[in-house]
Every structure is written in structure tokens, then in C-alpha cells.
Amino acid sequence: MRLLLDTHALLWWFTADPRLSAAAQAAIADHANEIFVSAASAWEIATKQRLGKLDEVPQAAARFAELVAADGFLHLPISHGHGLRAGGYDVAHRDPVDRMLAAQSELESMPLVTRDPAFADFCITTLW
């Protein structure tokens, strides 16, 4: 199965945070699954670090590619199709990173690993 990680799921995986659900941990750890990390998560992590909101993972932005590769995860770039879908959702949700993750999840047919209930407004499958 191919899975896309929401940013918090990625960070919680990196830090072995107990807030990551058992189902999410098992799915991410299953070597039969391909785990994708969006370029939008890199953007969100860099933004949060700049704002001083990621003290628990101080090197997440600087070591992003290294951390993703160390776990064998795959990078998912943002395409124009993703951008058009993210901007075109008729959903009141205003967070551009969430909109992008929803678009990538939908268009790439990958469940999004997230605990964020806001994704229920999008036509995607989530796993938690």
C-alpha cells in the first residue's frame, strides 16, 4: 500500500511520539508499504521552525532529506495538477498545506496518515 504522511505524523514518527496511533505506527513500519512525504510537509516544517514552533525537532528542516531517506520514505513533489486541485476544492478549510496534502492524497490515490478531523471535509481516505 502507498501512504502519504501528514506533517504531524511524520514528526511524531521521527520522535517516537506516543501520540502516533498504533495503527499509524504499524502501517509506517510495515516494509510492504511505500511511505511518501510531501514537499508541502518540508514547507510546513521550515515555516514552523522559522516561527519557533518546532522545539521538539530542532533540526527537522536542516536535516529533512536525511531524515526522510533514513527511514526509506519517498519524496512526493508538488505538481501543477496538485496545485489546481488544492486551490479548487470547494471546502472552507483555509490551511494551504492541508489543502495540498488532501489534493495529493486524492490524485495519487494514497490514504493520508493523519489524526486531523478537518480532512473529513475532503474526498480522501485517511488512516489513523
pLDDT tens digits along 47-75? 999 999 998 888 899 999 999 999 999 99
Q: Which DSSP letter does residue 59 get?
A: T
- The least confident of 10-14, 57-61, 111-115 is 57-61
What domains sit in the chain, N to C, each tagged with a CATH number? 2-127 (3.40.50.1010)
DSSP-based three-state secondary structure for 83:
helix
Nearest CA to 7 out of 39, 51, 29, 30 is that of 39
- The confidence band for 89, taking pLDDT boundaries of 50, 70 and 90, is very high
pLDDT cut 70: percent of the chain above it: 100
Q: Note the pTM of the prediction, 2 decimals.
A: 0.96
- Strand spans (E) along 79-120: 112-113
* Cβ neighbours for 30, distance < 8 A, ≥ 6 positions apart: none
